[in-house]
Amino acid sequence: MKVDRFSQSTTPGIFAVGDVTNRVNLTPIAIREGHAFADTVFGGRPTAVDHTGVPTAVFSEPEVGTVGMTEEEAVASLGRVDIYKTTFRPMKATLSGSGSKSLMKLVVDGRTGRVVGCHIVGPDAGELIQVIAIALQMRASKSDFDAVMAVHPTAAEELVTMPRPTLQYGLEPAVA
């Protein structure tokens, strides 16, 4: 069903939330849309749900977590993009002899330094991505991430200790 940002359909007094709107078909989105509807219609506080930057996880082995723009989306939308990527083998995997590793990627607007995406594959990726979604919602920059003290030894510390981009898009060629 087609609705506006306040879940109002084209018919006055008819609202729709959740999967029927086909915006983002996830239970937490439907719950948030329901709260926004109640605030708008019954609370007198017009509230729209921001459907960008929705964190998602796939609880597979290894686990996958993602929020924000992909590398490709950022390049198409922003042009100048810095990619920070790392792999990490947690100490518990080293001590146990497990081959378990994590892959982490930050997608950064190369002009503003704002982190616009994060993608994690590895243990607890869903837990990590939920916290990173807060930082993205707050429009955190890569320098904000860098200023956070790392918790050692954790996989999460990798998100605040990546010193330089592993890949850059949209750089101007150097003038000779």
Does the annotation count 119 as an active-site position?
A: no
Residue 56 burial class via C-beta count within 10 angstroms: exposed 0-12, middle 13-18, buried 19 and up = middle
Q: Which of 75, 68, 74, 72 is nearest to 51 (CA)?
A: 68
Spatial separation of the C-alpha atoms in residues 167 and 164, rounded to whole Å: 9
Q: Which residues pair with 103 in a beta bridge?
A: 87, 121
Residue 69 burial class via C-beta count within 10 angstroms: exposed 0-12, middle 13-18, buried 19 and up = buried
**Active-site residue identified among 35, 51, 119, 152:** 152
Active site residues: 152
